[in-house]
Each structure stands twice: as structure tokens, then as C-alpha cells.
Chain A
Amino acid sequence: MANKHNHIPFSSLFSPTEVICQTDQTDRDTLLKNLLELLAYQRGIGNVDEAYSFVLARENEMATIVAPGIAMPHARLEAIHQIIVGVATSKNGIIFDKNNPDKLVRLIILTLAPKDAPGAYLQAISSLANICKDPTTADIVANLPTPEKVWSFFEQGGLVLPDHLCARDVMEPGEAQLQEYDTLERAIDLFVHHKLNELPVVDKDGELIGVVTTYELLRVCLPDYILWMEDLTPIMNFEPFAEILRKESKTWLTEIMTSDYAVVEDTAPAIQVAKEITRQKANRAYVVRGKKFMGVVSLEKLLNKILRE
């Protein structure tokens, strides 16, 4: 079956009439309400108050600042059947995240997606990936004087919604990783410090060579031949763990490292991530480019991104 390539331009998701240009408004919530009312008037989005509460709830949970000066608030609505985008630019900047008042936002791209379109918001973000990389984008767009010029910026940029989400769109950089020469001691420290169950192990070139899991660590302490015993008396005081503790600084990670984990290429469709996680009965998949470690997709984050964001 041939793949369908839709190549939907990002600029086709809105028109100049859905842009609030160089607003003086400095209150985030009021601006969002204004933007939703504009979209309701122009495109019809159902109950504005309901949409507002969804957008605000999401924003209060975690600010959606995706790049310097750029925020992408979003919500899923039952009343709409296609992605609707509204854009606002600010002269002076708006405080989007009360915890980071210094991070002023000058470009707001509000994305409303149909309730039954998993990943639509991520596709929209993905299409803007190139402009988000440029730290001056927010300032450039905010200085455009008319809605038409703002729309033209996106139109001329040739930004296109991807056909599907890729693994890199849903991954997050690995917050902690181990080197091949690390010892068990460091792995235990990182497990405890980061409250993680798995850690990737990379070599000197940053290539993923394995994964260390707390389960494997437990299995090293309690191998099959100890688990056979019904009587727990010999291990009541965690005796096998004591030996591990005594030797943790001498034990190389490679001894407990497993090569049995879910791994996907960064360009693989995001659904491949879900497939690998399911197939391996894992909690996370590791994203690589070639062999180079790129990031991690945890099951909970994946579900959140696909089903909630």
C-alpha cells in the first residue's frame, strides 16, 4: 500500500484574520481568551469557556514554551474536526511561566486539535522545528507590523506538517546515562538520585551499547539458584546484597548490562516506538541515530504526548 503524502503547509492551518498582531496585552490568560474568542468567531470552536479552561489547565500544569520567546499552548476539543491555529505576537513580551518571569514570550501559536487526532499537536510542533531552532525567530515575527506579514512569514518558510510523527518528535534527551567504564557503584547512585529504573550505557563515541536496569541489578543479587529456595532464612537480612555492596566499586557495568531493550531509529515513525515498547514489554525505548544515542521515550510520556497533548 503506497504512503499518502499530504504535505499540509502550516500556513494553511490559519489565515491573517486569525492573527493578533503586536498586542499590548501583557496578561497571558486574557490574551489566550482573546485568541480563543477570535478563533470562535472566525472558525467556530464550540464552547469558548470550555476551550479556555482546557488551554489554561494545560498551561498551568506546565508552560508550553518550546523555544526562546515562543509558546505553543494547545487543547483538544470535541467540537472541531481539523487542526485550527491562532497566532498572536506581543510588542513587550508576556510572562507565560510564573516560575520563570524572565522568560518573556513574544510569539504565541495556539493550536486546537480534534479530540480524536492523536499526535496532531506534536505534528504541528514538529513542523515548526526549524524555526524554533533559530533563537531570533520570536523577535523577527513579533516585529512584523501586520497580520498578513506574520502569515507570510510562515507561508514563505515552507513549513509543512509531517505525514507522521517520528521517534525524535516524541523523545526526550536522556537525563542520565552511564559510560561503559563506569562501575556498579555509579549505576546504583544514578538509579537512586534520578529515581529511574533504567539507564542507557554509551561508549566513548556516544554510541548506545546497552542498558542497565534495576531489575537486572536485583537479578544479580537474587539469581535463579537462590530463588529456588522456599526458605528465606538464609537471605532474610539481604545477605546477597551485602556482597554486591562490598564489590560494587570493582564490578563493571558490562556485567549486568543487558542488550535486550527496545531501540528505534530517530527517523522511525513514532508508532514504531509504541510497537517496540509493547513487543519488548518494556517501559521505555531508546532512540538512536545509527548507533549514536539520541534520547529516550518513556511509556508514560509517550502516552501523554499521543493521548493528551
Chain B
Amino acid sequence: MALPYIKKETIHTAGRVGIMLGVSGLVGLLGHTVGLDRQQIISCSIFIMIIMATLLFWKLRLAIAFVGIGALMGANVLTLPTFIRECKLDVILFLVGMMVTVGVLKELGLFTWIIQGVISLKGITGPKFVVIIVFLGAFMACAVDEVTSIVFVATLIFQVCDTLKVRPIPFIIIAVMGTNIGSSGTMLGNPVGILIGQNASPPLSFMDFMHWSFPIMLVTLSISLVVLMWWFRRDIALLSQRLEVRREVGLGLGPLVQVPYKRGLAVLVGMILFIALHHHLETKLGLAPNTVLIVAPLVIAGLLMLWRHERSRHYIESDVEWWTLLFFMMLFAVAGTLEETRVTQKIADYFQQTFGSRLSILTPMVIGTSAIGSAFVDNIVFVAAFMPVVEKLQQTPLLWALLQGTCLGGNITMIGSTANIVALGMLEKRYRTHVHFLEWFKVGLVVGAISCLIAWGGVVLLSPYMPTVKERQIHRLAPASPDASRGSGQVQSKELQEQLNVTEKP
């Protein structure tokens, strides 16, 4: 009978609503006891409510974010101008451009070509396949973002596992972990990359990521790969056996066709070059930092839509994840109120009072906190809240620590990053099966802990060579300012002078 079922569901829902409101209320109460004012309490409570909503009501998170924004505005904590400023349209537009471009690349056969390249490899074995999916996932994440990457790598895994009749779950876990680690390599790898890069003051460039994050990612990825290959050694051995049997009878892993991939490859390479050269172009053209970076995917998407005008509406309507992007906008705005109401300043002060200004303590603290936070909360949620805190600490290595922590922490649990959720969704849809929390958590904790330790070592090792905030400001602003490039090297730009007044913490 339906009635008890409805009652049980209603009780569960009411319980979850109770937990969400209870935790939100507790945070408000805690804020009151530590001396936060009314506006700070409201912004903290609503931010926590949205975090809880992502955990308890995943499918309703956008609706709850809309209501949260309304509540913040109703309580006069958030104004319309602040909302428009804080919802970070620059990040959103960048992601729209990337999503459209990826949609076109998919139709142009680029990803088909890549997958065919893997399944047509001669002499492929289980370990080789694992190395390929880990590095393919990581590098594709670096080039086109982690979610796109895992969709294509998961398809490759399903193709191979279906053909060989082996359990796909271990290989999906391996690929997701490789993709998450790879997503820390470039600014394009993960929405948190562009959020950190764009919100750092001064903004970080694509090449900054290549200098300070990509090498750490490579080391982390290689060592994590060894750990994953040991962890799943039995499944990999079984894959090798099945591959050998198939090879003996001369069968491949799937049909192969001639793919006209060159146009897609040219678009991808062009886009990456365009983005990689953004700082140089901005300097030449006298544009504000990261203007080209943000606009490049949009311009490329626009050109592609002009070229394939009959499909342009499809790209916008189907390939852009509007649901996710709207949620990001709401979330950024709510996180913006934390900064607006100076909650983040208070947290930063607390951090400094507790841990001082020593990088040797702050770096592992930021990596550890962000990894644990990202393990249980969507990493973009965590970065949106924690970025202003890290910014206030005014130390460049901490930005990289935050990036590493949030990307690598996503591996710890199955809900740790969007890539995990997308891959598990695909698995569930295709095989009507799911990964148990502990099955993921055991390997996730090991890989997460090891990779965070490596990332810590990497950041500490590179810290002495990283530019300070002041040096970054000089580097980013001086060449772009027509005034600064003239005369006897004296900085004349008022904006630059103001920015240089910010003192670098020791």
C-alpha cells in the first residue's frame, strides 16, 4: 500500500530538513557566542544551509540556493549590486565558453579519435591500460576540465570492460582519481582553478599554473598511479588475462572507423594556445589581467557557433550545464556575503592568531583543511568560502596549497568532486550498480593522504621560488599599464600604486 511508503518518505524528508535547519541554526548560535554581528550570523547560517542542502538534498540544491539568496536579500545582508558583483560572471562565462567548445569538439570526432587510439593499441595489457586511463584522464582534465574528461574516459572504460566482461568499478575509481589529480594541473582543469586564479589578487595566469601546479600534479599523479595499481592489482591482472585471450583469437576492443579528427584537434590546440598566451596578449594589448583568458573560450565558442550555425542553439541548450552554472552563481554570491560581512576576515584573523604567519604551519593547515572540506562538500563550495580567507593571509604558496587540497581532497570520498558524481552516475545508469561508500573511501583515503603529502612537499619545495604578492602585482600590472612602461621605470598608475601599498606578510 502506498500510504506507509509516503509516510516513511515524509519522515525521512522532514528529518533531513530538520538536520539542515538544525545545523544552520547551530552555526548561527555559535556565531553569536563568538561575537559575530546579526548580518554575519545570517550570512554564515545561510551559507551552511546551502552546504547542508548539497549534502542532503543534492537534486534540490539549486532551489535551496535560490531561496537562500532571497533570504539574504530579505534580511538586507545581500544587496542586488553586491549579488551581481559577487556571482562571478567572469568565471561563469568562461565555463559557458568551455562547455560549448567541448560540445563542438565532441561532434567533430576528436574524442572518438582519442578513444579509438587507445582501443586500437597493439599489445595493450592491464597495467598499460591503467597507465593510459590515468594519464589520459589527467591530461584531458588539464585541457578541457575534469567533468568532460571523466565522461570520455568512463566511456572508454565501459567499452573495454563490456567487451572483456570485467567489473568496471575499479577502473572507474582509478580514472576518476587520475582525473581529479590532473585537474589541479592547469587553470582549465577544474572550476576551482579558474575561481582561485581569477579571485587571487592579482589574478593568477595560465602560465602561473603551469609553473607552480603542473609539476606538482605530475609527481602526485605518478605516485598515486603506483598506489592505485597496487591496490587494484587483481582486477588489473584479470584485465590482462582477458586481453590476452582476445588477442589470441585476433579480436579487437571495438569497431574502428576513419575519423576526420584534424579539425577538432586544430580547434583544441588553438584554444589551448590562445589561453596559454593570454598573459602575453593582455600585456601587448594593454588589457586588464585575465581578460583574454576569460574571453578566449567565449570567442572560440562564438566562432564555432558561426561555423556550425545550424547547431548553435543545440550547443547552448544541451552542452551548457545551466543547472550547475546557476548553482555556482548563487553559491558565489552567498560566499561573497561572507566576505562582504567580513566573516572571512575574522576567520583569517583567527587563522593568523592560531597558526601565526609561518608557511611551514599554514601550508599543511590549508592543504589539510581544504582536503577534508572538499572530501565531504563540493570543492567549489569550499573554495568559494575559503578563498577570501586564504587571500587575506596574503601568501602566494597558500593559493597553490588551497588548489591542491581541494582537488586532491575530492578523491577521498565518492561525493568529493563533480567528476566522482558524474562517473558514478554513468556507472549506475549503465550497469544499475553502485559503489559502496567504504569501497571508495578506503582507497580514497590512502590516495588522498599520500597525494596531499606529496602536494605539501611540492608546495614547500617550490615556495622559495614563488613570487610574493607584491612581485606578482608588479609583474601583472606594470607591463599592462601604459604609464608604467614609460619614463624611468617609475610606477605612475594610480591603480598600481594603490595595489602596491598592500604589504606582503612575512
Contacts and interface: CB of A to CB of B under 8 A. Distances in A.
A81 interface: no
A221 B155 CA distance: 15
A308 interface: no
B30 interface: no
Interface string B240-273: 0000000001111011111110000000000000
A205 interface: no
Interface in B113-162: 115-116, 155-156, 158-159, 162
B257 A239 contact: yes
A235 interface: yes
Interface string A228-243: 1111011100011001
Interface stretch (B103-111, B282-290, B492-500): B103-111
Nearest to B159: A223
A221 B255 CA distance: 6
A251 interface: yes
A224 B158 CA distance: 10
Nearest to B109: A229
B432 interface: yes
A231 B260 contact: yes
Contacts of A231: 107-109, 260
A301 B159 CA distance: 35
Nearest to A244: B255
Contact of B254 (A1, A223, A234, A235): A223
Contact of B116 (A225, A244, A255, A260): A225
A275 interface: no
Contact of B255 (A223, A233, A254): A223
Interface string B163-198: 101000000000000000000000000000000000
A240 B252 CA distance: 12
Contacts of A254: 165
B469 to A, nearest CB: 44
B109 A228 contact: yes
Contacts of B254: 223, 225
Contact of B257 (A224, A234, A255): A234
Interface residues of A, number: 25
Contact of B112 (A221, A225, A243, A260): A225
A250 interface: yes
A131 interface: no
Given A225-B116, A243-B256, A251 B251 contact: yes
A260 B432 contact: yes
B255 A234 contact: no
Contacts of A224: 155, 158-159
Per DSSP, chain B at the interface is loop
A247 interface: yes
A229 B259 contact: yes
A244 B251 CA distance: 10
A233 B261 CA distance: 12
Contacts of B311: 230
A250 B111 contact: no
A221 B257 CA distance: 11
Nearest to A242: B255
A226 interface: yes
Contact of A226 (B107, B156, B158, B255): B255
Contacts of A234: 109, 257-260
Contact of B260 (A220, A223, A233): A233
B319 to A, nearest CB: 12
A230 B255 contact: no
B111 A228 contact: yes
A302 to B, nearest CB: 24
Nearest to B431: A260
B242 to A, nearest CB: 11
Contacts of B250: 247, 250
Nearest to B263: A231
Most A C-beta atoms less than 10 A away, residue of B112, B155, B255: B255
Contacts of B259: 229, 234
B251 A247 contact: yes
Contacts of A243: 252, 255-256
Nearest to B255: A240
B168 to A, nearest CB: 14
B163 A255 contact: yes
A272 B418 CA distance: 38
Nearest to A243: B255
Interface in B302-323: 311
A250 B245 CA distance: 12
Contacts of A239: 255, 257-258
B2 to A, nearest CB: 13
Contacts of A235: 257
Going nearest first, the 3 A-B pairs with the smallest beta carbon separation are: A240-B255, A230-B107, A234-B257
20 contacts: A1-B1, A220-B255, A221-B255, A223-B254, A223-B255, A225-B155, A225-B156, A229-B112, A229-B259, A230-B108, A234-B109, A234-B257, A234-B258, A234-B259, A240-B256, A240-B257, A243-B252, A247-B250, A250-B249, A255-B162
Given A220-B255, A229-B107, 8 more contacts: A1-B1, A224-B159, A225-B156, A230-B311, A234-B109, A240-B256, A251-B251, A255-B163
Interface of A: 1, 220-226, 228-231, 233-235, 239-240, 243-244, 247, 250-251, 254-255, 260
Interface of B: 1, 106-109, 111-112, 115-116, 155-156, 158-159, 162-163, 165, 249-252, 254-260, 311, 432
